[in-house]
Amino acid sequence: MKLAKNAKGKAPARLKSKEAKTDVEVRYDLRLYVAGQTPRSLQALTNLNKICEDHLAGKYRLQIIDLLKKPQLAAGDQILAIPTLVRTIPKPARKIIGDLSNTERVLVGLDVRPVQ
């Protein structure tokens, strides 16, 4: 399942497709790998949406990949831990594993300076 998501507005804690907005300048390409709708996955998504909203508004694109449905995609990004957030752009790729509960670490991991 592929979900392109606009960061505007409150993100629902659901893994659901939404129309992607293509007119924004994409500087961050993110993929979140999950395995089914586990509480941890939903938690990660909630946390991620919040972080993106706060710090990357309008500059990112997010794909959510459910490995239960597409297990063959796991090998490409060397996914092992669930959930894993992969930043494919800008290069080099970065991975953040866990439920993304620590905002500071996520931002450091994504190499994003907090907007302040």
Partner 1 sequence: MNRNLPQTLPKAPTGIHGLDQITMGGLPKGRPTLICGSAGCGKTLLGIEFLVRGALQFNEPGVCISFEESAHDLEMNVASLGFDLQKLQRAKKLVIDHIFIDKSEIAETGEYDLEGLFIRLNAAIDSIKAKRVLLDTPEALFAGLSDAGVLRSELRRLFGWLKNKGVTAIITGERGEGTLTRHGLEEYVSDCVILLDHRVQNDAVTRRLRVLKYRGSTHGTNEYPFLIDEHGISVLPVTSLGLTHGASTERISTGIPDLDEMFGGKGYFRGSSVLVTGSAGTGKSSMGVHFADAACRRGERAILFSFEESPQQVVRNMRSIGMDLNRWVKQGLLHIESARPTAFGLEMHLVRMHHLLEKIKPKVVVIDPISGLLPGGSEHDVHGLVLRIVDFLKHSGATGFFTALNAEDDLQSTALSISSLVDAWILLRNIEVNGERNRLLYVLKSRGMAHSNQIREFLLTSRGVKLRDVYLGPGGVLTGSARVAREAEDVREETRRHQAAKERELAAKGVLEALDAKITGLHAEKLAKETELSNILDTDRAQRGKVLAEREALRKSRGMMNQTAVRRRRP
Q: Is 13 in the site for partner 1 (CB under 8 A)?
A: no
Label the pairing between strands 60-66 and 28-34. parallel
Q: Cα(23)–Cα(106) distance, rounded to whole angstroms?
A: 26
- Tell me the three state secondary structure of residue 66: strand
Q: Cα(86)–Cα(90) distance, rounded to whole angstroms?
A: 11
Applying CB under 8 A, which part among 8-16, 18-26, 38-46, 55-63 lies near partner 1?
A: 38-46
Which residues, numbered 67-96, are part of the site for partner 1 (CB under 8 A)? Answer: 67-68, 71-72, 74-75, 78-84, 92-96
Taking a C-beta distance cutoff of 8 angstroms, is the pair 5, 11 a contact? Answer: yes
Q: Which is nearer to partner 1, 23 or 104 (CB)?
A: 104
Residues at the contact surface with partner 1, assessed by CB under 8 A: 33, 35, 40, 43-44, 47, 67-68, 71-72, 74-75, 78-84, 92-102, 105-106, 108-109
